[in-house]
Amino acid sequence: MSVLRLVGRPLLASMFVAGGLSSLREPEQVAPVAEPVVRPLTDRVAGLPDRTDQVVRLSGAVQVAAGLMLATGRMPRLAALALAGTLVPTTLAGHRFWEAEDPAERAQQRIHFLKNLSMLGGLLIAADDTAGAPSLLWRSRHAARDLRREARAGHRAARAVAGPAAGVGALRAVSASVPKRVVCATRHRR
């Protein structure tokens, strides 16, 4: 693993572990702010709990677990996607700068909103990072290409062997159709 990944993944994950622990311990502090975003989600997604504080706790648990996975390099691509999935509603709920009346508060919320967008970009890059190994898509494309190449080579080899074999078979067929007397007579003349 490169030094950049070794250092960068825990740094990216630290905010999620800290925020997730806070949401797990004290969901009632975040629940009122999360209500406008959580309510439409719980109406559309059947598996989510009905109470906002339970959804906040669930999101916190996902952030802690996925943050630790990303920090330690355990399934980092999946962990980054899970964190990105929790970051979108968190950002929409917590940093609604467009609703702030006070210009200073609006500016502060805009900064936090853009910071979260930056973290989302980092998570998307981390989700795409294969750590130098080829992706599954690349491997499958190359495996298919190699199979096609081998099939063409096998076809060419079969044709190359079949051509002389067909010639030998034709000669045998011709010699089998010639009467033995003629063959013997030609041998004695020499």
**What is the rounded distance in angstroms from the CA atom of residue 171 to the CA atom of residue 119?**
77
Identify whether residues 44 and 79 lie together within a single domain: yes
Query: Where does a domain end: 105, 133, 161?
Result: 133
Decide which of 130 and 1 is more confident. Answer: 130
Residue 188 identity: H
Q: pLDDT band for position 183 (50/70/90)?
A: low
Count of domains for the chain: 2
Q: pLDDT band for position 117 (50/70/90)?
A: very high
Amino acid 116: pLDDT:
93
Identify whether residues 106 and 184 lie together within a single domain: no
Secondary structure E strands in 5-140: none
CA distances from 132 to 2, 63, 73, 128 (A): 9, 26, 14, 11
3-state class of 45 per DSSP? coil
Identify whether residues 85 and 176 lie together within a single domain: no
Identify whether residues 142 and 178 lie together within a single domain: yes
Per residue in 14-57, pLDDT tens? 999 999 999 999 998 888 888 888 888 888 888 888 888 899 99
Mean pLDDT of the region 77-99? 91
Mean pLDDT of the chain: 85
**What is the rounded distance in angstroms from the CA atom of residue 115 to the CA atom of residue 52?**
24
Mean pLDDT of the region 136-146? 83
Mean pLDDT of the region 66-81? 94
Identify whether residues 40 and 129 lie together within a single domain: yes
Mean pLDDT of the region 129-145? 79
**What is the rounded distance in angstroms from the CA atom of residue 50 to the CA atom of residue 58?**
12
pTM for this prediction:
0.66
**What is the rounded distance in angstroms from the CA atom of residue 161 to the CA atom of residue 182?**
31
